[in-house]
Amino acid sequence: MILILLGPPGAGKGTQAKLLSTELGIPHISTGDMFRDHKARGTEIGKQVQAIMDAGGLVTDDITNAMVKERLSRPDVAPGFILDGYPRTVVQAEYLDGLLRSLGRSIDRALSYEVAEELVVERISGRRSCPRCGAVYHVSANPPKRAGYCDRDDAELVQREDDKPENVRKRMQEYGTKTEPLKRYYRDRGELAEVEGVGTPEGILAATKKVLGR
């Protein structure tokens, strides 16, 4: 099964992608995580994308597409995969179609998580993550046992640079102008399914499985 997860920043795509990955036994591919990993390792790509990412802008289509192409050449994607945060522009969506066609594959569903803008801002502004293991928390909705520290390794939690209010505004803008048009793109092809992204992670997972007929 090949799934694409759409939705504004803070819609809970990452959380659902992880749950679905476990449930379906297929890899979770997050271009945001891949870029953050490049940044942390200080690779050439990491250096190229650092400033634009921190400011909440989108990385160029060329860099992003090349990274995804490489990822989809690995053997673990054979049973299917979940794309979280890609595609984010029509150019990327068209590129992905061509790439999948060349591999003799096609997407099964583009799931769009629908969440009101106020809620999204609330979710993002409370998000904290562990710089050591990547665990993600929320100050009120999913707090760590000891405020400010990771449950797993006790590292001090941080707020992502792009989760800071001024950068969140930029991300919402990018979403509205460049990514939201993808809903139309997938709807026209009969591949879009909208899921109400409000409630507990488990509740949203149940709604997702229903849409997938599982």
Q: Nearer Cβ to ligand AMP, position 55 or 206?
A: 55
By CB under 6 A, the residues from 146 to 165 that bind ligand AMP are 162
- Peptide bond just before 87 cis, omega within 30 deg: yes
- 28 is an interface residue for ligand AMP by CB under 6 A: no
Element (H, E) at 121: helix 117-125
Q: How far apart are CA 174 and CA 56, in angstroms?
A: 8
Burial of 50 (0-12, 13-18, 19+ CB in 10 A): middle
CB 109: neighbour CB atoms within 10 A? 18
By CB under 5 A, the residues from 127 to 166 that bind Zn ion are 130, 132-133, 135, 150, 152-153, 155
- 6 is an interface residue for ligand AMP by CB under 6 A: no
- 88 is an interface residue for ligand AMP by CB under 6 A: yes
Report which of 187, 186, 206, 207 is spatially closest to residue 195, judged by C-alpha positions: 207
Minimal distance, residue 45 CB to ligand AMP, in Å: 11
Q: How far apart are CA 77 and CA 9, in angstroms?
A: 25
Minimal distance, residue 159 CB to Zn ion, in Å: 15
- 83 is an interface residue for ligand AMP by CB under 6 A: no
> 49 CB contacts (<8 Å, ≥6 apart)?
35, 38, 39, 59, 63
- 65 is an interface residue for ligand AMP by CB under 6 A: no
Concerning whether 13 is annotated as a catalytic residue, the answer is yes
Concerning whether 160 is annotated as a catalytic residue, the answer is yes
Which does residue 150 bind out of Zn ion, ligand AMP, none, counting CB within 5 to 8 angstroms by kind? Zn ion
Give the interface with ligand AMP as residue ranges (CB under 6 A): 9, 31-32, 35, 52-53, 56-59, 64, 85-88, 92, 162, 171
